[in-house]
Amino acid sequence: MTRPLPEGYAWLSDEIQEVLFSAEMLQRRVAELGSAISIDYAGRNPLLVGVLKGVLPFMADLLRAITIHVEVDFIAVSSYTPEARERGIVRLVKDLEMPLAGRHVLFVEDVIDTGLTLSYLLRNLRARQPASLEVCALFDKPAHRLIGIPLKYKGFDLPDRFVVGYGLDYHERYRNLPFVALLRAQVLG
């Protein structure tokens, strides 16, 4: 393993193949993103909008790295059926509580893969007439991109591999890891 499992996680060595981003690397980059957002949105009281559930750790850390007034809201979508996925359709299972009209909205995502989820949600949110609408994604996985996404803030590029941790799951597990890692092939089955 090039980057060893941190203390307390040796029990995961049968499941984790490699740590790609340590907790320190993630925290450093999130702090940089928070600083940039604080400067760019000064005096604009931005509304951060996150898609549940993978965004939770990133959103929690990003909020605390922002040093201006900021508000937060969440949206939840259902997983795609294969047919809906092809048509780029996502079902909202929890809508935002706050109105967006006239607000400076920053859409926060953990990972952008095909771009279909975000593309659908951006269309949906744009129709609510925010004053501005930008995207901040911690991870960009460009290998499978089907649709262009304008990214204002990006944490890291991800290789075309299945990764878990810091919100990213495999069958709902591993979201709680403070680092991001590759799973061993035998875990993926």
Asked if 109 contacts 166 with a C-beta cutoff of 8 angstroms, the reply is no
**CB nearer ligand PRP, residue 57 or residue 115:** 115
Residues 71 to 110 in contact with ligand PRP, rule: CB under 6 A: 79, 109-110
- Asked whether position 59 contacts ligand PRP by CB under 6 A, the answer is no
Query: Segment near ligand PRP (CB under 6 A), from 17-25, 28-36, 49-57, 153-161?
Result: 49-57
For this structure, is 160 an active site residue?
Answer: no
CB of 60 to ligand PRP, least distance (A): 14
- Asked whether position 140 contacts ligand PRP by CB under 6 A, the answer is no
- Asked whether position 117 contacts ligand PRP by CB under 6 A, the answer is yes
Cα within 13 Å of Cα(22), Cβ side: 10
**CB nearer ligand PRP, residue 38 or residue 124:** 124
CB of 40 to ligand PRP, least distance (A): 23
47: Cβ contacts below 8 Å, ≥ 6 apart: 70, 71, 72, 73, 98, 100, 103, 104, 105, 106, 130
CA distance 12 to 183: 10
CB of 152 to ligand PRP, least distance (A): 16
CB of 102 to ligand PRP, least distance (A): 26
* 15, 18, 40, 169: residue in contact with ligand PRP (rule CB under 6 A): 169
Which residue, 122, 74, 111, 115, is CA-closest to 95? Answer: 74
- Interface ranges with ligand PRP (CB under 6 A): 51-54, 79, 109-118, 169
